[in-house]
Amino acid sequence: MGHRSAIGARNGASTSPDLSDGLRTLAALVLTFMAFDDITTDHSTSFRVEYTLLFACAVWGAVLIVRLVRRGRIALASVCTVLLLAVLWGQQSIGPGTRAIWPGYAVASAAFLGFLMVAIYLVVAGTRSARRLPTTMGSVDHGVRP
């Protein structure tokens, strides 16, 4: 019980929730960009995979909001809620041949940039807090020398 999986932290070491949420958000943004790129530039008649990716990324956005609220980051959760609603509204008008001047496309693109800024903020905040946390149990130096 003293360790997580091979990917997670071990022996008391922990990754900042901000850092992990920021990295997951960056990954979701990459998948979202790829899905939107396929939808707007491909001439396929079915985009099941792309819409499944978009749905998964929207679910991550909702999970991120809940995680931020639980950590007391209400302002950031509120920003993410507005951004997620903007993406959901803008997505409905995006399809094959969508042009960048369409309002839905512009709103969704602005929301993606907003989520990118949130992700970068979380990664930076998580990196800073990780530097302040001890990496193993008992490794804190209290300034007392024998």
pLDDT in tens, 101-125: 678 778 888 999 999 999 999 999 9
Provide the residue range defining the domain that includes 85: 17-132
Are 29 and 113 in contact by the 8 Å Cβ rule? The answer is no
Q: What's the total number of domains in the chain?
A: 1
- Structure-derived torsion over alpha carbons of residues 23, 53, 68, 91, reported in degrees to the nearest 10: 120
Q: Is residue 117 part of a domain?
A: yes
Q: Is residue 10 part of a domain?
A: no
Q: Is residue 6 part of a domain?
A: no
Q: Is residue 142 part of a domain?
A: no
Q: At residue 80, does pLDDT exceed 60?
A: yes
Model's pTM, two decimal places?
0.73
Q: Is residue 139 part of a domain?
A: no
Q: Is residue 141 part of a domain?
A: no
When pLDDT is cut at 50, 70 and 90, the band that residue 97 belongs to is low
Q: Is residue 101 part of a domain?
A: yes
Q: What angle do CA 71, 117, 32 make, to 5 degrees?
A: 95
Give residues with Cβ within 8 angstroms of 92, minimum separation 6.
104
- 22-75 tens-digit pLDDT: 999 999 999 998 888 888 787 777 888 888 888 899 999 999 999 999 999 999
Q: Is residue 3 part of a domain?
A: no
